[in-house]
Structure 1
Amino acid sequence: MSENNSKHAVVTGASTGIGAATVRKLRSEGWHVVAVARRADRLERLAEETGALPFAADITKDDDVAALARFVAENGGLDTLINIAGGARGADKVGEARNDDWEWMFQANVMGTMKMTKAFLPALRANRRGTVLNLTSTAGLVAYEGGAGYNAAKFAQHALTNALRLEEVENNLRVIEIAPGLVHTEEFALNRLGGDAAAAEKIYQGVAEPLTPEDVAEVVGYAVGLAHHINLDQIVIRPVAQAANHKLIRA
């Protein structure tokens, strides 16, 4: 099975967690990578470590995305767009929903993915062997109590991904969705729960082996590294202890 030999990727959400792990994974396999996130200091450290090209940008802002597209074009272009950036805020039920949290989640998960994809579609279409990989979540496949805002955002991102695959197949664009379950990252639960470290750690308490960012990055690297005619439409990845969103084994 031949590999994807066109290895120029843009990775968002690269300052931490799955995004940073994905940059490390791709660089270890010889990819040229532009690493994108809001926090320039973290990107610089990642660039020093891996050799990736850093670009500080807020993917929800049109001017930032346009500047990023110019930067990528000036630095070798791309054949692979990996949309990792996103996240959750709050665990409120619908009756206690906070407008700001919902708006942030839709901006980060849906609008950011749309703006990045729209900005790079001309280059990906011209390439004729382009790939878009969107990191969604099992929260975008099955709803749960206290997750409505994140569910809604990730369901929307999941739908966007499916529509994109149908719309761009005539341009030979490969569109991949990876939907992780429980992943123990540095910041996801902490940010979701307003910085409450004790509450965030309880999310993972007693779970013998939750997924790590490196686990997910391994799957991302595999999916985008396959020969281009192979499309892994949707990959659901969970720890063995999580048989479903509602069934998690704790010691």
Structure 2
Amino acid sequence: MLLIFTRASGHVPLKILSIEDGTVLKSFNHLLHRNKKVDFIEQFNEKLLVKQENENLQIFDVRNAELTEVSSTEFKTPSAFIFLYENQLFLTFRDRTVAVWNFRGELVTSFEDHLLWHPDCNTNNIYITSDQDLIISYCKAESEDHWVEGNAGSINISNILTGKCLAKINVSSGCPTIDECGSNHGGLKKQIHSRMRSTVAEALEDITALFYDEERNEIYTGNRHGLVHVWSN
């Protein structure tokens, strides 16, 4: 666990603790550029990621003090991270785009067709499989030559290591109608479900949550109307 203390003028005091018993494993000061805002400080195992406003990304190895820098023109401050512990990689999300990086500061993957619906990266609409090889997201719908306007998006499934789009659920790929479950929210009472019908276009509108059941090979989506849809083979 990383503890970040109050910033001094030219550095920030840091401590790395053992989660098991709270033992201080390392205590040190990380140098900072004066008068520059700290965009983020993130810890991934022995790696420390530090980014200041308009400065290079610093990847610091706390074991041997080895420092790697990535140019600020190549690495823009993301709105969110997802660390991939199995692959020793990390995902960054910025302006609807997803990228995969390694801890040598190298861009591993750019996705060919995975423009997220939400510009601020709503991670409720993103699922990473347990093998950390696939990413499933609610994305902007795309036709052959342009982005489709309107409220209906698409559910895109892409390979994390190659960036290839493997499958997509959109208005043109689904069946005309699908089942959905609605519920009334009567305080703490048990929810009462009713069967309804909805078009694929309606089910792909305003999705607020996405989950993939890896055992059943089913995708569950919820929308702002409180409806849950199940997408299954």
- Range of TM-score over shorter length: under 0.3
Higher RCO (C-alpha 8 Å, min separation 6): 1
Greater per-residue strand proportion: 2
Q: What is the TM-score of this pair, normalised by structure 1?
A: 0.24
Q: Which has the higher helix share?
A: 1
Tell me which structure has the larger Cα radius of gyration: 2
